Amino acid sequence: MKKFHVTTFGCQMNEHDSERMKGMLTSLGYTESQQREDADLILFNTCSIRENADNRFISHLGEAKRLKGEDPERIVGVGGCWAQSVKDEVFRRFPFVDVAFGPGQIHRLAEFLNSDQLSAQGYFEFEDFAGHLPAHRARQFQGWLQISQGCNCVCSYCIVPSTRGREQSRDPGELVLEAERLAADGVREITLLGQNVNSYGRDLPKESRVRFSDLLGMIDQVDGIDRVRYTSPHPKDMREDVIEAHASLPTLCEHIHLPLQSGSSPILKRMRRTYTRERYMDRVAMIREKVPDCAITTDIIVGFPGETETDFDQTLHVVEEVGYDGAFTFVYSPRRGTLAAEMEDQVPHPVKVERMERLVEAVQRRARERSQRFVGRNMEVLVEGPSRSDPTRIRGRIRHNKAVNFEGTAEPGQMVEVEISAATSQTLTGTERLLSGIGA
Ligand code: SAH
Ligand code: SF4
Ligand code: F3S
């Protein structure tokens, strides 16, 4: 039997797409190999969001080249955003690659493998959602649901619109059916995926058009699904109806990821984010008013072209004021073909690094402070498996998306109650409560 090996880089959308690749390959009769050197088919699902994403991948590609040299019958395939962004030159620069495909072309891998494969093939026009393909889930009780593909925003730093194309929403009826199938298969927690989930539905035909908040309500009704999450929303589309849904839908978790990028309105304008600092803070105020205990997390970029000390200070202010439960922080990285890469006033690297240090200090301090609100409370935890740092303990996640390490007897996929005894910026510690019902 032929074996495949897939390495995944990048965001949750790529994790989702890789699960679909694996599902498709399994249905073609392939089995998964744990080691790359044992595989007949070596695949990479790539990311190009920042330069270090590219660099990380290139050494893996070097190993694939060596393995292909040892056994020319091996097939090397690259999919995902990097592949899409180098589509015109991939076979010239990397002649050992047999097949390259963009994010909308995963199903074509099957066609390539079933053909005579006389020459290298590239597939790059968006054709279909990977969500239609069979999946091979990493976790039995957690599932992705791809609700849309692509992004219509024009953030000046971002490569995604050029790699994932224009936004297309999937039919809501089809999504409910898929959620029902996931539930029947043992999934308890669903994460809705899209580049900009809360603009979902605007491109649908009139007769099937629903808003993102309506879709949340439809998924909430699916029997067997206990938790619903989504990523990523855009602050410009984070309207009252979505925030209300967090207050009213029992399955929708108390966590909103609200990517700030910068706390300075002039920088936001140059980033083409289409909101100001004030509008962003209004969204935060609305969340705090309607869902007081909601966790808020964010993405922040430091050192965007033209960012002055005053601009950066504004970002620090927002971090202090909001008190994020967590934040992904990135040093700005110029990307090929983006507007910001051509801007003249690029920030010197040492300045970016120094600002990053100050930002991380503020983010972690505020997250640690925020975390203390869980100490002493009994929290509902979905168990994921043994703790990474101490296998005698169990790891899981609360609805607010914080990881918990705890003592207890629970099995993966179970929902248990844990009494929280300590909290750091990233994780909570506690003990499983054996004799009580769920409820914080
Ligand atoms: N569609 C999502 C996720 C985009 S990528 C969203 O808009 O929220 C995830 C994060 O990577 C972005 O939010 C941004 O903070 C960061 N990012 C994107 N392009 C970048 C670049 N060129 N340099 C540094 N960080 C970048
Ligand atoms: Fe990129 Fe902006 Fe689209 Fe997010 S919303 S994927 S940052 S262009
Ligand atoms: Fe990377 Fe593409 Fe996701 S660039 S972050 S894999 S959308």
pLDDT digit string (tens) for 179-192?
999 999 999 999 99
- Please say whether the beta carbons of 19 and 145 come within 8 A: no
Give the model's pLDDT for residue 435. 65
330 contact partners, CB below 8 Å, separation of at least 6: 50, 299, 300, 301, 302
**Contact indicator for 152, 198 with CB cutoff of 8 Å:** no
Give how far Cα 46 sits from Cα of 11, 110, 153, 247, 323, Å.
Answer: 10, 18, 21, 37, 33
Rounded to the nearest angstrom, the distance between the alpha carbon of 156 and the centre of ligand 1 is 10
CA distance 38 to 58: 20
Whole-model pTM? 0.94
Gap between the terminal Cα atoms of the chain? 50
Quote the ligand 2 centre to 250 CA distance (angstroms). 29
Q: What is the predicted pLDDT for the residue at 59?
A: 87
18-41: pLDDT as tens digits: 999 999 999 999 999 999 999 999
> What is the enclosing helix (H) or strand (E) of 440?
none
Cα 416 to middle of ligand 3, angstroms: 34
Residue list, ligand 2 pocket, CB within 6 Å:
151, 153, 155, 158, 160-161, 195-196, 234
pLDDT band at 439 (very low <50, low <70, confident <90, very high): very low
For 328, list phi and psi in degrees, rounded to 5. Answer: -95, 125
Q: Which atom of ligand 1 is nearest to 157's Cα?
A: 22
* Separation CA 436–CA 193 (nearest Å): 34
pLDDT tens digit sequence for 223-271: 999 999 999 999 999 999 999 999 999 999 999 999 999 999 999 999 9
- DSSP one-letter code for 366: H
The radius of gyration computed from the CA coordinates of the chain, to the nearest angstrom, equals: 22
Q: What is the mean pLDDT of the chain?
A: 93
pLDDT, one tens digit per residue, over 325-358 is 999 999 999 999 999 999 999 999 999 999 999 9
Six token digits for residue 430: 């506690």
Rounded to the nearest whole angstrom, what is the distance from the C-alpha of residue 195 to the centroid of ligand 1? 10
199 lines ligand 1 (CB under 6 A): no
Q: What is the pLDDT of residues 159-207, one digit of tens each?
A: 999 999 999 999 999 999 999 999 999 999 999 999 999 999 999 999 9
Strand segments (E) across 158-202: 168-169, 189-193
